[in-house]
Amino acid sequence: MKTGYVYKRDNKWYVAVPDSSLKSGYKRFSNGFRTKSKATICLAEKKDLIEEIQANKSPSGSTPYKSFFKEYISYIYQNFSQETHKTYKGVLKNFLIFADEKYPSTQFLRDLRVKVFEDYKMWLKKTRHKDNTVNNHLKTFKAMFNVAIKWEYLDKNPIKSVELVTVEDEKPIVTLNTPEKFSLFFERCKKIKPKYYPHYYCASLLGLRFGELVSLERDDVDFVHNVVRITRKENFSPKGRGKKDKKPKERVIPMPESVAKMLKEVLSKHTHKKVFLKKGRPIDRRDKSFRRGIISIVRGTEFEGMTRFHELRHTTGDILGLSHDIYHIKNFLGHSDIRTTERYVRVADESKKKMANTLEHFRKTTQLTTQ
């Protein structure tokens, strides 16, 4: 049974009570409270009203799916990062184009059946979406319909039995996972793209995402404690959410001495609040020149397949994986799920040999007994 919820908007807390007679499925009470506790008290006082409304609720799936999409996007905007909100909006925009073309008479959630999404898969591939993108769309809808079930709009997830596309041409991740590769990359960087040297160097030794790098400000760099803080800004929200408070996942990254020295040098050359600039101005998060810079640096080398800025972050994971526990690496990189970290950490061949030697040594020094 839906119990209603409280949410924050423009520094005020509101109370939403389920109401199946409305397209959104919820009715907002009050003009807003200054604190969450007052809103929670108001929600508790509406308990009897909620039970009365629930006694007359509409059949499962009777909510117009476009109304649910709008409500869900509002929910994402309030509870998740800007990147997630932008991604979900893009997915829904594509689906609405498809639905208006292929299923114009479809109106309600109950009409979104397995066949609709099987056709959607084919439509995405025909419109030249990559296999990974198709799978991301399907995963987005699966998460969305799980929320619809939680809100009691649906009894079951219509996309549960829809299989993902088999990805056969997925690009392998290339990293600077040996001292020789690391040195060669940055030697070539000084010659080919010297202006990007600090950006690439700090990203590879701090494990920074591109959005984190371009959003970094002077106040985020603490030379007293030798740390960099990834914090929420006006136009930037750290990726991931805390499990308890659901707030953007901020983190503190210790700086190697060489990184601290480099950042001091970078900050001494300008007075802007942003740490990293391009031609004296803040870097646009859509700037592709840093990616093209990497491609030009690695051309003709053994790591020529390196084509993405994010592979510098994978480099951080690979280097740490040589000596450190995966759970500590997870915290360093700011991952919410250990399975994500597992994609970043690949044990080097030499480390695997050491593990094999450890197992063999254990076998030789252990008395084996048989019955």
Instruction: Please say if the pLDDT value at position 203 is more than 50.
Output: yes
Domain shared by 117 and 242, yes or no: no
pLDDT for res 194: 95
Residue type, 202: C
Query: Does an H or E element contain 71, and which?
Result: helix 65-79
Domain shared by 198 and 92, yes or no: no
- Six-digit token pair at 253? 């990254």
8 A C-beta contact, residue 306 and residue 174: yes
pLDDT: which is higher, 1 or 183? 183
Q: What predicted TM-score, i.e. pTM, was given to this entire model?
A: 0.62
Domain shared by 145 and 183, yes or no: no
pLDDT tens, residue by residue, 63-75: 889 999 999 998 8
Domain shared by 243 and 146, yes or no: no
Domain shared by 253 and 316, yes or no: yes
- Which domain does 133 fall in, by range? 5-150
Domain shared by 137 and 217, yes or no: no
Mean pLDDT of 357-371: 60
Domain shared by 236 and 323, yes or no: yes
In the chain, what's the furthest Cα-to-Cα distance? Answer: 77
8 A C-beta contact, residue 276 and residue 228: no
pLDDT tens, residue by residue, 94-146: 999 999 999 988 888 988 989 999 999 999 999 988 888 899 999 999 999 99
Domain end residue (candidates: 150, 171, 195): 150
8 A C-beta contact, residue 129 and residue 123: no
Is 170 part of a structural domain of the chain? no
pLDDT for res 132: 84
Domain shared by 193 and 70, yes or no: no
How many domains, the chain? Answer: 2
8 A C-beta contact, residue 335 and residue 341: yes
* C-alpha R_g of the chain: 25
pLDDT for res 34: 82
**CATH number, residue 184:** 1.10.443.10
Residue type, 33: F
pLDDT tens, residue by residue, 288-338: 999 999 999 999 999 999 999 999 999 999 988 888 888 888 888 888 778
